[in-house]
Each structure stands twice: as C-alpha cells, then as structure tokens.
Copies of this chain bind each other. A is one copy, B any other.
Amino acid sequence: MQELEKEIQPKCLTCSARAISIFNDLNPEEIKNIEEISSCQLYKKGETLFNEGAYPRGIFCVQSGKIKVSQTGLDGKEQIVHLIHDGNIMGHRAILGEDTYSCSAVAMEDSTVCFISKTPFYNMVEKSAKLALKIAHLLSDELKEAERKITDTAQRPVRDRIAQGLLTLKRNYGLEADGVTINLIVKREELANIASTTRETATRLLYELQERGVIELVGKKIKILDEQKLKSRS
C-alpha cells in the first residue's frame, strides 16, 4: 500500500541541521536557491527512503531523525554501513559517482528529511568549486571510515566490534539527559548488523558486558557505565 507523503515546507535559512551540514556557509542567496529546489518530508519509523540498486533522483538532507544505511550481503543478510543523524546527507555518493544507490536507507525513528533533485543539485555544484570541494571532503571522511571498518571487520574479534558498535551509536546519536543511556532503541539484530555478527552473539556479548559492569540493559535501552572499558576493547 502507498504511504501517505507528508510534505513539509523547507525552511533552510533557519534549519538547525543546515548549520552542521555541508551547506553551512552558503550565502543568503544560495540558501534561498536551495530552499526553492528542495522539498521536505516526514518519514515514519521503518519507512524506506531509497533502495540499493535504484537510480538516484537526488540527494537527501536529514533535518532530524535517525536513519540506517545498509547493504544486502550473502543470503540477504543486512550490513549496516552508515548511521545517519541530523545534518547528514545521503545519496551524494550515487549522484557524484553517476551510479545507482549502493545502499538502502531506512528510518530507524520518525525523521524529517529534505530532498534536492539531481539536476538542480548538480548545477549548483558545477558552479561552485567550493561546494564540490566540500563534498569531496565529506566523501574523503566517509572513505577513511569505511577503510578502517574493513580492517577492523577483518581483524578484530566480535567482542571488540560490539564495543565499537556501541561507541558508534553514542557518537552518532548521543546520550539521553541522564548522560549514560544511548539515545536510540536498537534491536539486537541491528546491533549485530552494525558489528558484523549474528543476533545471538550480540545478545550474549551484551550480557557479558553487563556482567562486567561496562553497560546496563534497561528495557530496550542500553546504558554505558564504563566508556573507558568499551574503548579499551576497540
């Protein structure tokens, strides 16, 4: 069944996410332009923004929300490749690489996401070496992270990768007001797909970390009690 699309009027000038995005230092005129060529929409938890293999229609700018970007591996097993938060953009790799999407994106929580169509976006970048350089900078950062993840996935034991996964969640989504609880409800299986392991192993290792007093599992949430110990395992 067709999802009801919830259109929202983009307000880039005052968008708090823009300030921390690659569009942070545009001049008012450029911001006006972006506002004109972009649309904005609410995605409910579980909704798909785009699918691996599809042709990209444009790029997505996350105003607020939590989105997983993942690939399909062997036997359809999901590998989560990026964890997206406010101010991040998605789809730029496919657009700049003149390629189909290499990943799918699914909202892990209700998310407000702006969209800029391919052509106007490309026109903008073609005119501004500064913007192109910013995107190259972003891609460079992402490439560095991906390369390091190859090495870690290949060489570190699952125990370390789970610890790293928890730290990544903290880095991307922060902690709740109490200063210890990871600000995302993550399923065992999702954590497993971040850390490249199985649901069962993730379960076991979370309990082991709890035994050792490193984390605490409270309901569906995870509290980080001893970040140093997590870091020492990664």
Contact = CB atoms under 8 A, between A and B. Distances in A.
A147 interface: yes
A103 B144 CA distance: 9
Q: 4 closest Cβ contacts across the A-B interface? A: A97-B140, A132-B132, A154-B196, A146-B146
Interface in A81-119: 81, 92-94, 96-99, 102-103
Interface stretch (A2-10, A123-131, A209-217): A123-131
A78 to B, nearest CB: 9
A151 interface: yes
Contacts of A126: 129-130, 133
A73 interface: yes
A139 interface: yes
Contact of A93 (B129, B140, B149): B140
A16 to B, nearest CB: 25
Number of copies: 2
B154 A79 contact: yes
Nearest to A100: B144
Interface of A: 71-74, 77, 79, 81, 92-94, 96-99, 102-103, 125-130, 132-133, 135-137, 139-144, 146-156, 196
Nearest to A75: B155
Nearest to A124: B129
A96 B133 contact: yes
B71 A102 contact: no
A150 to B, nearest CB: 5
Contacts of A97: 137, 140-141, 143-144
